[in-house]
């Protein structure tokens, strides 16, 4: 699976964090590396230790052309080549023979992307939410002590919302964690809608898409649903994305499950709020980032938002879930489909081919690549239903969303207020 993952550009840190810190220790796909920004604003991703006396380069400091070791000042450029040994003789050619591991990095959508695989590197695909104009973005991150697949399998599990984000959420809010500013009626209305997702469930379905898979639930009136209908859940974009949101909805999100190593993962919640109805989104010089809280100041689990609930459920499966002891049921049809798709793509790599979503032809790459339901750009979206905004400006739905912890929240609320004010009142 590591060989499969090395065929993709992988987001490793928010660019705003790199601008704040300049030098960051990064572990991804089992490798410990150092991400840095030179004084000339060039990004580099190199091995973790200086080959002089093996000092960790996370303690290094940036120069115009590279990163210098804090111990003796050896400098390495983004290519991994040693560029300077300030304490060696000016006539020495030693630096010309010294280099360390280096990987290409690029910025897109406020994230730093790295490619750790065989050359030539594929194209960095412009998935829609990373490149769409006229929106407010923010990036929530978590580092979790569990395998990445436990989080990704959550994308193939639409029914857990009824229990984890419905009945369990109600229990948590009633017990101790309900935010004081929320109106009781609004909170209960949202929880009621979630718990009802489990009523009238006949079966689950899953099918392949050009870029991954989609799935949903078939509901039956005979089993208690208000009518016979088919729901569609979030879209899975291979290998580690899941995307929510539809055309003409303000709130859109991609969640990215980045493998750190076998028992740790880096989770990115990439939220995008579209300026609809002619409303211009406020300009962001840099997309802000924040840590999604997992524990409070007393060390107790934070369970009063959906993303943190998911994270604790994934961690509760252990560092690597033992799937040989599972007992799968009808709600696990999409999970089995997701696993099968992973196996199929892994076999393609073993045979020497390119797996799904590895793109190499620039002439066939669109400027915006739609991986799921989201088939229009913000510039063409002209209407939004009252429910599509999430009503953040009135606090509604805010209680359940980790975005409330992010620094862009005031801008998001103000933009949604303008969108709601621009809508034609219903007759």
pLDDT of residue 179: 55
Over residues 204-225, mean pLDDT: 95
121 within domain boundaries: no
| Residues 70, 194 within the same domain | no
Least confident of 39-43, 137-141, 367-371, 377-381: 377-381
Q: Residue 147's domain spans which residues? A: 128-422
Q: Please say if the pLDDT value at position 13 is more than 80.
A: yes
Domain total for the chain? 2
pTM for this model (two decimals): 0.91
User: The domain that contains 191 carries what CATH number?
Assistant: 3.90.380
Over residues 108-133, mean pLDDT: 97
Separation CA 405–CA 216 (nearest Å): 30
Over residues 294-310, mean pLDDT: 93
pLDDT of residue 174: 80
Name the pLDDT band for 115 (thresholds 50, 70, 90): very high
Name the pLDDT band for 361 (thresholds 50, 70, 90): very high
| Residues 333, 209 within the same domain | yes
Mean pLDDT of the chain: 90
Percent of the chain with pLDDT over 70: 90
- Do residues 260 and 28 lie in contact, with contact meaning Cβ atoms separated by under 8 Å? yes
pLDDT of residue 399: 64
| Residues 98, 244 within the same domain | no
Name the pLDDT band for 121 (thresholds 50, 70, 90): very high
Over residues 369-382, mean pLDDT: 52
| Residues 79, 177 within the same domain | no
pLDDT of residue 389: 44
| Residue ranges with strand state E in 174-263 | 201-209, 212-219, 229-232, 235-237, 241-244, 251-261
Tens digit of each residue's pLDDT (9 = 90 or more) over 69-81: 999 999 999 999 9
User: The domain that contains 14 carries what CATH number?
Assistant: 2.102.10.10
Phi, psi dihedrals of residue 105, rounded to the nearest 5°: -135, 150
Q: Which of 89, 115, 141 is the last residue of a domain?
A: 115
Other C-beta atoms lying within 10 Å of the C-beta of residue 246: 14
pLDDT of residue 424: 56
pLDDT of residue 191: 83
Over residues 266-295, mean pLDDT: 95
In sequence order, which residues have a C-beta less than 8 Å from that of residue 303 and are 6 or more positions away? 169, 172, 177, 309, 312
Q: Please say if the pLDDT value at position 378 is more than 90.
A: no
180 within domain boundaries: yes
Separation CA 279–CA 408 (nearest Å): 17
pLDDT of residue 415: 92
Selected residue with higher pLDDT from 356 and 192: 356
Tens digit of each residue's pLDDT (9 = 90 or more) over 237-266: 999 999 988 777 899 999 999 999 999 999
Over residues 205-216, mean pLDDT: 95
């Amino acid at each position: 699976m590591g060989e499969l993952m090395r065929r993709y550009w992988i987001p490793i840190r928010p660019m705003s964090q790199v601008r704040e810190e300049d030098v960051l220790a990064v572990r991804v796909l089992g490798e410990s590396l150092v991400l840095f920004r030179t004084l000339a604003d060039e990004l580099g991703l190199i091995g973790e230790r200086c080959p002089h006396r093996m000092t960790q380069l996370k303690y290094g400091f940036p120069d115009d052309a590279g990163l210098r070791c804090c111990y003796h000042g050896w400098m390495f450029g983004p290519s991994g080549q040693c560029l300077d040994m300030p304490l060696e003789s000016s006539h020495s050619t030693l630096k010309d023979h010294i280099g360390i591991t280096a990987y290409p990095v690029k910025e897109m959508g406020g994230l730093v992307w790295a490619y750790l695989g065989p050359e030539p590197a594929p194209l960095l695909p412009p998935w829609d939410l990373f490149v769409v104009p006229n929106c407010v973005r923010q990036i929530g991150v978590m580092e979790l002590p569990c395998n990445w697949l436990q989080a990704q399998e959550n994308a193939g599990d639409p029914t857990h919302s009824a229990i984890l984000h419905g009945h369990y959420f109600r229990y948590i809010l009633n017990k101790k964690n309900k935010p004081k500013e929320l109106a009781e009626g609004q909170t209960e209305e949202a929880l009621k809608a979630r718990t009802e997702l489990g009523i009238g469930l006949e079966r689950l379905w899953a099918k392949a898409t050009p870029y991954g898979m989609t799935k949903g639930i078939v509901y039956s009136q005979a089993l208690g649903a208000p009518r016979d209908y088919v729901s569609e859940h979030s879209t899975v974009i291979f290998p580690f994305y899941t995307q929510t949101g539809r055309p003409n909805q303000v709130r859109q999100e991609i969640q990215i499950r980045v493998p750190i190593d076998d028992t740790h993962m880096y989770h990115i919640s990439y939220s995008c709020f579209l300026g609809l109805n002619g409303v211009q989104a406020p300009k962001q010089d840099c997309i802000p980032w924040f840590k999604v809280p997992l524990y409070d100041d007393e060390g107790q689990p934070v369970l009063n938002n959906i993303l943190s609930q998911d994270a604790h459920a994934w961690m509760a499966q252990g560092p690597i879930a033992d799937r040989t002891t599972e007992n799968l049921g009808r709600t696990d049809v999409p999970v089995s489909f997701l696993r099968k798709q992973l196996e199929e793509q892994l076999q393609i790599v073993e045979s020497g081919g390119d797996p799904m979503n590895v793109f190499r032809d620039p002439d066939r790459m669109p400027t915006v690549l739609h991986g799921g339901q989201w088939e229009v750009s913000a510039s063409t979206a002209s209407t939004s239903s009252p429910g599509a905004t999430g009503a953040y400006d009135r606090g509604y739905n805010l209680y359940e969303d980790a975005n409330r912890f992010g620094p862009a929240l005031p801008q998001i609320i103000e933009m949604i207020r303008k969108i709601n004010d621009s809508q034609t009142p219903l007759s």
